[in-house]
Homo-oligomer: A and B are copies of this chain.
């Protein structure tokens, strides 16, 4: 951990993320669509993906914390937020509670939730293409390319489709890993890639090590998610607990048992930490990434 105090590191970054997201979603908007979007995005969420973007950019050399990484951080959170809004809808998971609040469709109705999710996705790409020349066009284009590919039908949306199709079916570990690599892993890996893309001249070997970090972390995140679905209660989780089992969804706990899944999460966290060591980046710049990886595995919600 290089002695880094993660909370102290996170606090100003979280503030910048919240401010930028709030400033970028105007409540005054046609038919109050912006209000539903703000409800979905603001005042909630651990902001893991945006923090990963900023921590990676810092590790890769963006000491100044420039606008490119902040825009990318907001953009990936907006993609994450849109996916939650749509995932909670009655035709998908039909969930009524998210981050301790009624889900968007409960609060604003299904039609407005559908539109708000759509518009949150779009807004991600607005964030990546600021009109003030603060970010080079090459960085803008690279970030759009990464985020679109990570979240589309060969990425996150494809993983959600597998998830839907797999309810009540027994998946083996390879199939389960493929589902999660897309559904959750793609965006977590993309967070790391976006952070790297915002810094010029990162050596290919460093990029490759950071990608291995992102892949291991993404899988660890999902294994921990499956564990928490069994071990945590809804109040702590801020969403409905036990719903995977209730929906007869395949999980790592179902596959490996609770202890097996916990041990697997720890092993993956170890792989992630090793990848950081392999990157060759100065240990002094890796503290935030190590701290976030710890947080993913040790979280209780």
Among A82, A110, A129, A182, the most chain B Cβ lie within 10 Å of the Cβ of A129
Q: Are B31 and A161 in contact (CB under 8 A)?
A: yes
Count of chain copies: 2
Q: Least Cβ distance of A88 to chain B in Å?
A: 11
Q: Are A122 and B151 in contact (CB under 8 A)?
A: yes
State in angstroms the CA–CA spacing of A115 and B154 once bound together. 12
State in angstroms the CA–CA spacing of A140 and B129 once bound together. 10
Does A138 sit at the interface, judged by CB under 8 A?
Answer: yes
State in angstroms the CA–CA spacing of A112 and B110 once bound together. 16
Q: Least Cβ distance of A226 to chain B in Å?
A: 19
State in angstroms the CA–CA spacing of A26 and B153 once bound together. 9
State in angstroms the CA–CA spacing of A37 and B26 once bound together. 31
Q: Are A29 and B153 in contact (CB under 8 A)?
A: yes
Q: Are B148 and A126 in contact (CB under 8 A)?
A: yes
Knowing A152-B122, A154-B29 are in contact, say whether A160-B128 is a contact too (CB < 8 A): no
9 contacts between A and B (CB under 8 A): A30-B158, A31-B162, A31-B164, A91-B110, A114-B114, A118-B118, A126-B149, A129-B141, A141-B144
